Amino acid sequence: MEIMKPDIKWEGKLQPFKNLLQIDSIGLHHMAHPTWTFEDVHRFHTFTNNWIGIGYNWWIAFDGTIYMGRGFNKGAGVGGHNSHILSIGFQGDYENVNKEMPKAQYEAGVWLIRYLRNLVPSIKTVAGHKKWNATACPGKYFPLQKMIKDGMKEEKEEEVMLQKFIEKYTPEVVEKGLDILFSSISDDGLPSEWAEKEFKEAKDLEITDGTNPEMLATRQEVAIMVKRAVSKNV
């Protein structure tokens, strides 16, 4: 995903975080307005709140477009806590009007949380604005717990590898993906307890040679075993 950098005018100097590691949290917000765009919010924060411009560090539209607001400069989203919180604003009124977040906006939110956590390892908390201030923000219909859970999830190397395996069949990816797949099957050379008796009978009838009882069989192996069984009249 990409982050758009809108060409906006700031009414004062942005204050960069002196040390990114002073950031320990991400705060999530809604706009408490059903249609306001990034530019509308920027205008409101500039001319009504008399701030230097939009208070959020990043902002996400219904269609999943991510806008850079203050970026890694001190925000104004969470009163009294802006020196240690990055704020992400979401288009919509999730308290009264918008009852379901569009998939594109949700996925952009999860992506941005993971992206920021990768850049700033000191981030340990992701929460709604209401954790720090007396407010309903980000609203009762905001998928808060689900977004936090998905945003905080660690991707296991195996999951990433299998994902790539599905998306892109390069020889290296296929090979590594198959390694993971096969190594996840443990075969100690003995059949499972429930299959023990019949597997032994099949071996005695020479339908199978009895090796690798718990591994996957190819179609040719299955065909040969079926043919052997049929020819033995069992």
Nearest residue (CB) to Zn ion, 31 versus 207: 31
Residue 129 within binding range of Zn ion, rule CB under 5 A: yes
CB 41 within 8 A of CB 143: no
Residue 130 within binding range of Zn ion, rule CB under 5 A: no
Long-range (24+ apart) CB contacts under 8 A made by 169-178 are: none
Nearest residue (CB) to Zn ion, 134 versus 193: 134
Q: How far is the CB of 80 from Zn ion (least distance, A)?
A: 13
**28 phi/psi in degrees, rounded to 5:** -105, 135
Give 81's contacts (C-beta < 8 A, 6+ positions apart).
25, 27, 132, 133
Residue 45 within binding range of Zn ion, rule CB under 5 A: no
Residue 76 within binding range of Zn ion, rule CB under 5 A: no
Q: How far is the CB of 132 from Zn ion (least distance, A)?
A: 9
Give me the helices (H) in the chain, please. Answer: 38-47, 103-119, 144-152, 157-167, 171-183, 196-204, 219-231
Stretch touching Zn ion by CB under 5 A, among 126-134, 143-151, 193-201, 207-215: 126-134
What residues from 135 to 164 belong to the interface with Zn ion (CB under 5 A)? 137
Burial class, 84, CB count within 10 angstroms (exposed 0-12 / middle 13-18 / buried 19+): middle
Nearest residue (CB) to Zn ion, 136 versus 224: 136
Q: How far is the CB of 104 from Zn ion (least distance, A)?
A: 21
Residue 28 within binding range of Zn ion, rule CB under 5 A: no
Which of 23, 25, 26, 29 touches Zn ion by CB under 5 A?
A: 29
Residue 60 within binding range of Zn ion, rule CB under 5 A: no
Tokens, residue 76 = 């104004």
What residues from 183 to 202 belong to the interface with Zn ion (CB under 5 A)? none
Site string for Zn ion, 162-181 (x = CB under 5 A): --------------------
Q: How far, in Å, CA of 205 to CA of 101, rounded? A: 61
SS3 category, 218:
coil
Give 154's contacts (C-beta < 8 A, 6+ positions apart).
none
Question: Contact residues for Zn ion (CB under 5 A)?
Answer: 29, 129, 137
